[in-house]
């Protein structure tokens, strides 16, 4: 995965500043609460519970992705409800960002359209606060690290926790720099989902498996998101390697999945979940009207859900 060139420097600076503040204002024996309600942490984590329930039913999770604000927030709300009704098990919602390094042209275009509509991080957080109570499926926010750094780790996680979001996925933060997010999200009852790619060395993959929460996001291709005509056969071996190390962690495969046949192939190879983004984003955001986009996206979502039936 491509990384912002100054991410490590910015995160390291934040850690240093935060440590300095703590040394001045916090007793070494009693640490002040990080302004985050820990009530959620006492509940069973929603994403983990979904995968546990699906495993018992021998069913693969359907995890759709759409971009907030494309073509507008009213349509995003309708799309989230439609995906929920269509049988999504977990839903990813992308916060639009001007430099989405992990995303291909379809999602980049969606983010550009949303930004032109003045959809920003704060806008999305306010929006999900209203929409999450209406959804059965837990919501995972997908965002890059720079918007978090601009807001600050603690204020960002506090707002995410208050919004009812169940998980967080940050594709461009290095594993070594996730310590603060892991600490804060764990206290807030939010599951921090980490990614592994085809080029991730085995030792690093094991560390990622040990640190991820909810599920492991296995990237199926080398490169960015986008629709592919076939699923790369090496994904089966990647799944096998992860299983050989840890057979308990759920693994959801994403990047390049665009139809029911591909989803069924991934399930056959042992994926616990299938993540579909670009195909749904294109169906929703590139239609002539929002109504046509919703109809097209819903039809594709229903095809994908039907390709992943319960195996009881």
pLDDT digits (tens, 9 = 90+) for 23-70: 333 333 333 344 444 434 434 699 999 999 999 999 999 999 999 999
The rounded Cα 107 to chain-centroid distance in angstroms is 14
Q: Do the domain assignments include residue 29?
A: no
pLDDT digits (tens, 9 = 90+) for 260-274: 999 999 999 999 999
Position with higher pLDDT, 105 vs 60: 60
Q: Do the domain assignments include residue 266?
A: yes
Distance CA 294, CA 260 (A): 18
Per-residue confidence (pLDDT) for residue 255, from 0 to 100: 87
pLDDT of 295 over the 60 cut: yes
DSSP 8-state secondary structure symbol assigned to residue 217: E
Per-residue confidence (pLDDT) for residue 132, from 0 to 100: 96
Q: Do the domain assignments include residue 23?
A: no
The number of domains in the chain is 1
Distance CA 241, CA 294 (A): 38
Per-residue confidence (pLDDT) for residue 76, from 0 to 100: 98
Per-residue confidence (pLDDT) for residue 19, from 0 to 100: 43
Q: Do the domain assignments include residue 24?
A: no
Q: What pTM value is reported for the model?
A: 0.85
* Omega before residue 170 within 30° of 0, cis: no
pLDDT of 8 over the 60 cut: no
Rounded to an integer, the average pLDDT of 95-104 is 78
In the chain, where does DSSP find H-type helix? 7-25, 46-56, 73-85, 105-116, 121-131, 145-151, 153-163, 179-188, 202-211, 234-245, 260-268, 278-285, 290-306
What percent of the chain is predicted at pLDDT more than 90? 75
Domain CATH for 270: 3.20.20.70
Q: Do the domain assignments include residue 299?
A: yes
pLDDT digits (tens, 9 = 90+) for 195-250: 999 999 999 999 999 999 999 999 987 644 444 556 768 899 999 999 999 999 99
Distance CA 187, CA 144 (A): 21
Q: Do the domain assignments include residue 11?
A: no
**Catalytic center residues:** 92, 103
Per-residue confidence (pLDDT) for residue 256, from 0 to 100: 82
What domain range is 190 assigned to?
44-305
Mean pLDDT of the chain: 85
Per-residue confidence (pLDDT) for residue 25, from 0 to 100: 36
pLDDT digits (tens, 9 = 90+) for 76-90: 999 999 999 999 999
pLDDT of 3 over the 60 cut: no
Per-residue confidence (pLDDT) for residue 221, from 0 to 100: 72
Q: Do the domain assignments include residue 18?
A: no
What burial letters (b/e) apply to 192-230, b meaning 16+ CB within 10 Å?
A: bbbbbbbebeeeebbbbbeebbbbbbbbbbeebbbbbee
Q: Do the domain assignments include residue 7?
A: no
Q: How far apart are the first and last CA of the chain?
A: 37
């Amino acid at each position: 995965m491509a990384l912002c060139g100054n991410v490590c420097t910015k995160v390291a600076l934040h850690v240093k500043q935060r440590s300095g503040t703590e040394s001045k204002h916090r007793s070494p024996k009693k640490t002040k609460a990080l302004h985050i309600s820990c009530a959620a942490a006492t509940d069973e984590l929603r994403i983990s519970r979904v995968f546990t329930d699906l495993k018992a039913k021998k069913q693969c999770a359907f995890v759709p992705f759409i971009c907030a604000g494309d073509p507008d927030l009213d349509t995003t709300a309708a799309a989230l409800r439609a995906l929920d009704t269509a049988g999504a098990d977990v839903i990813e919602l992308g916060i639009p960002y001007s430099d989405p390094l992990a995303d291909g042209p379809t999602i980049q275009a969606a983010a550009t359209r949303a930004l032109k509509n003045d959809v920003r991080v704060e806008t999305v957080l306010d929006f999900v606060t209203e929409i999450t109570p209406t959804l059965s499926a837990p919501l995972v926010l997908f965002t890059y690290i720079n918007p978090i750094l601009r807001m600050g780790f603690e204020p960002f996680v506090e707002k995410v926790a208050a919004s009812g979001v169940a998980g967080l996925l940050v594709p461009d933060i290095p594993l070594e720099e996730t310590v603060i997010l892991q600490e804060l999200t764990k206290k807030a009852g939010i599951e921090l989902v980490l990614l592994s790619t085809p080029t991730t060395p085995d030792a690093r993959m094991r560390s990622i498996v040990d640190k991820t929460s909810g599920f492991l996001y296995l990237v199926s291709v080398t490169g960015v998101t986008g629709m592919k005509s076939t699923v790369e056969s090496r994904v089966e071996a990647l799944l096998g390697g992860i299983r050989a190390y840890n057979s308990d962690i759920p693994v959801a495969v994403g990047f390049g999945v665009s139809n029911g046949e591909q989803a069924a192939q991934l399930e056959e190879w042992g994926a616990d979940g299938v993540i579909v983004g670009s195909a749904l984003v294109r169906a929703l955001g590139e239609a002539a009207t929002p109504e046509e986009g919703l109809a097209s996206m819903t039809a594709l979502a229903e095809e994908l859900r039907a390709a992943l039936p319960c195996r009881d």
